[in-house]
Amino acid sequence: MGAGFLISIGEPLFHSDPEGLIGKQALRGRRAFQVDVAMPPSLTLYELTGADDDLRFSPHCWKIRMALLHKGLEADRRPWRFTEKDAIAFSGGATVPVLVDGDKTVTDSWRIALHLEEHHADRPSLFGSETGRSYARFVNSYADTVLVAPLRHLLTLDILARVHEKDRDYFRASREKRFGQPLETHAGDPAVHIPAFRAALTPVRTVVAEQPFLSGAAPAYADYCAFGALMWARCVSPLRLLEKDDPVYGWRERMLDAFGGHARAAACTEQDA
C-alpha cells in the first residue's frame, strides 16, 4: 500500500462526510486502518524580492498572495530578482508572478487567478459569480493603469534603493528606456504626484465609504487587485500616501488585518503609526 495515514472509526474521510458515514462503512468494525489519500498538488509561487529576501514588493505578486490566502492554499513562495531570468525560463516568460501547480505552470496574475478559480473550485470563490469576475477584471485593469501611473513616479527611486545590488544597473537601464528619461527626472516632486495618486483612488474611495470592501461585506479578488498597488507602495516607500480620515485608509487597514494580519506582518518600509 502507498503512503497513507490512520483514521479511527467514525472520523470523516472527506469534508463532505461530516458524520463519518463513509469511514464507518469502510471500517465495518471498531478498528483503525490505513487508506491511500491523494494529497493536493504542491504550489510554488515565484515572487519579486529586493536585497532582503523577505521584501516581496510586486503589486501583481501581492494579488496572488492574497488570492491564495482567500482560497486557503499554501504555497512555497520563492524569492526572485529582476536579473534571475534563468530561474523562471521554464515558464516561457521573464516576469513574475509565476505559479507552479502540480504539472501546470501559469504566468500573469490575472491568468493565475483564473487558474486558481477553475482548478481549486472546491475552495472559496475569488469572484462569486460571472458578474463578480467581470467586476474584478475591470478593477484589475484600473489598478494596473490608473493607480500605477502616479505610483511609478513616487516609487521608482525607492525601488532602486531596495533592489539587490546585482539588479540596480538592469533596473535603471530598463526603466529609463521605458520612461524615456533619467529616473531622477521621472520621479519628480512628491508634492505633485501624491495628490494625483489620491485623486486616482476616487473610485475606490466612493465604494468603500459605503461598504467595508470593494466586493461588499468581505474581500474578494477585486479588492486584492487594488490592494496590490497599495502594498507595492507600503513595501518600498516611507511616504505617507493616505490620510487617516480617508475611507481608503480604513479599507486598507481592513485589508492589512485580513487573514490574520498576513499583509500587515509582511516586511515593509512604511512604518505603522
CATH number for position 215: 1.20.1050.10
| 100 belongs to a structural domain | no
* Residue 124 pLDDT exceeds 80: yes
State the pLDDT at residue 102: 95
Q: What is the pLDDT of residue 158?
A: 98
Average pLDDT of the residues in 60-80:
98
Answer yes or no: is pLDDT of 37 > 50. Answer: no
Has residue 66 been placed in a domain? no
Residue 146 lies in a domain: yes
Mention every residue, 6+ apart, whose C-beta is less than 8 A from residue 249. Answer: 242, 243
What secondary structure letter does DSSP report for 246? S
CB atoms within 10 A of CB 257: 12
Residue 273: per-residue pLDDT: 54
Q: Are residues 32 and 135 in the same domain?
A: no
**Predicted confidence (pLDDT) at residue 20 exceeds the cutoff of 50:** no
Question: Which of these ranges, 32-36, 152-156, 233-237, has the smallest mean pLDDT?
Answer: 32-36
What pLDDT was estimated at residue 15? 35
- Cα separation values, 230 from 118, 144, 240, Å: 27, 12, 11
Same domain, yes or no, for 11 and 137?
Answer: no
- Average pLDDT value for residue range 187-196: 97
Euclidean distance between CA atoms 62 and 91, whole angstroms = 19
Which has the minimum average pLDDT: 30-44, 114-128, 178-192, 207-221? 30-44
- The DSSP call for residue 38 is P
Q: What pLDDT is recorded for position 16?
A: 36
- On the question of pLDDT at 85 being above 60, the answer is yes
- Are 141 and 255 part of one and the same domain? yes
Is residue 21 situated within a structural domain? yes
Q: One-letter amino acid identity for 261? A: G
Asked if the structure places residue 244 within a domain, the reply is: yes
Neighbours of 149 (CB within 10 A): 13
Asked, for residue 62, whether it belongs to a domain, the answer is no
Q: What is the pLDDT of residue 243?
A: 98
pLDDT of residue 41: 47
Supply the pLDDT for residue 272. 76
Within a domain: residue 94?
no
Q: Within a domain: residue 139?
A: yes
Least confident among 37-46, 220-229, 255-264: 37-46
118 membership: H or E segment, kind and range: helix 109-119
Q: Are residues 29 and 141 in the same domain?
A: no
* pLDDT confidence of residue 42: 86
Specify which residues 179 forms β-bridges with.
Answer: none
Q: Assess whether pLDDT exceeds 50 at residue 11.
A: no
Q: Which residue has the higher pLDDT, 10 or 190?
A: 190
Model confidence, pTM:
0.85
Confidence of residue 145 (pLDDT cuts 50, 70, 90): very high
Residue 4's pLDDT band (boundaries 50, 70, 90)? very low
Q: Hey, what's the torsion of the CAs at 50, 55, 57, 63, to 10 degrees?
A: 140
pLDDT confidence of residue 271? 80
What total number of domains does the chain contain? Answer: 2
CA count, 13 A, side-chain hemisphere, 213: 19
Report the mean per-residue pLDDT for the chain: 89
The three three-digit cell numbers of residue 244, written as one number: 487617516
Residues 137 and 252 occupy one common structural domain: yes
For the segment 45-70, the average pLDDT, to the nearest whole number, is 99
Domain assignment of residue 242, given as a range: 130-265
